[in-house]
Amino acid sequence: MNIKNGKAILIGAVTGFANGLFGSGGGTIVVPCMERFLDIEEHKAHATAIAIILPLSLLSIAFYVWKTDVLWTVALYASLGGVVGGYIGAKLLNKLSGVWLHRIFGLFMIIAAVRMII
């Protein structure tokens, strides 16, 4: 195993831990890690994060269903909105420059951090 694969496995483990512990949010970890430690360009990091988070989310939901009550009606309607938002976001991803993508992602991370502190 080369060092890049080892880094990818470590990034995946940390992302999976955060996804399982917080119920999601792995993208806030995996995207900056791929950019910084694996030298992946911003657009590819965001697109790759989706592919990484899907299996993590499926595994996490299996454990949450087993241990807690899931509000399926809320999950259904939020998922419908997520599909629409995901489609729009994926279309916009190709239209934004790397600089603007980085700025917008950073802004969302700052907002999330402030909300968690308050």
Could you give the angle at the alpha carbon of 95 between the alpha carbons of 91 and 97, nearest 5°?
135
Q: How far apart are CA 34 and CA 57, in angstroms?
A: 19
Under a CB-based contact definition with an 8 Å cutoff, are residues 26 and 48 in contact?
A: no
CB atoms within 10 A of CB 105: 19
Is pTM beyond 0.75 here? no
Among 47, 49, 44, smallest CA distance to 11 is for: 49
Tens place of pLDDT per residue across the chain (118 aa): 688 899 999 998 888 888 777 766 677 888 899 999 999 998 899 889 888 888 887 887 777 777 777 788 888 888 899 889 889 988 888 898 989 988 998 898 898 889 889 8
Q: Which residues, other chains included, contact 46 with Cβ-Cβ below 8 Å and sequence gap of 6+?
A: 31, 93, 101, 105
